[in-house]
Amino acid sequence: MLGVCRGLQLLNVYFGGTLYQDLRLTSSQIKHLQSPTPQEVPTHHISVEKESSLGFLPENYMVNSFHHQVIKDLGQGLQAIAHGNDGLVEAIENKEKHVLAVQWHPECTW
């Protein structure tokens, strides 16, 4: 199963995790709302775990961003496999259950 953006948030809650209901509740200084930048233009860096399902990406990768909610507490059985420079979770997985989710929109990155 692949979750994208809100899909990551829903999967995290399904697995018992929690969300910050708004980025303003975090100390993030990263622009997580893409507008007015076009959706295909990456706006911030993430760090990717090399031993993860996203290990094919560079360890330092740029993504687009369209969200105002983020993971607060990780759901049971999930592993954070990418983080923004602000420390917020940008991707999760559960290899046993074949779950992968990203906070950005890869379908817009071309």
Domains of the chain: which residue ranges?
Answer: 2-26+36-44+63-108
Contact 45, 82 (CB under 8 A): no
Closest CA to 105 of 14, 54, 51, 41: 41
Q: Answer yes or no: 5 catalytic.
A: yes
Q: What is the pLDDT of residues 33-64, one digit of tens each?
A: 667 778 788 888 999 999 999 999 999 999 99
pLDDT at position 31 is 64
pLDDT (tens digit, 9 = 90+) per residue, 3-35? 999 999 999 999 999 999 776 776 666 666 667
Residue 24 corresponds to which amino acid?
Answer: R
CATH tag for 2-26+36-44+63-108 (out of 3.40.109.10, 3.40.1110.10, 3.40.50.880, 2.120.10.30): 3.40.50.880
Choice among 59, 68, 98, 107 that is catalytic: 107
pLDDT at position 32 = 66
Q: Tell me if residue 13 falls in helix, strand or coil.
A: helix
Residue carrying structure tokens 């990768």: 61
Q: What are phi and psi of 21, to 5 degrees?
A: -70, -15
Give me the catalytic one of 5, 32, 90, 93.
5
What is the tens place of the pLDDT at every residue in 59-96? 999 999 887 789 999 999 999 999 998 889 999 999 99
Catalytic residue among 45, 67, 83, 105: 105
Q: Is the peptide bond before 36 cis (omega within 30 degrees of 0)?
A: yes
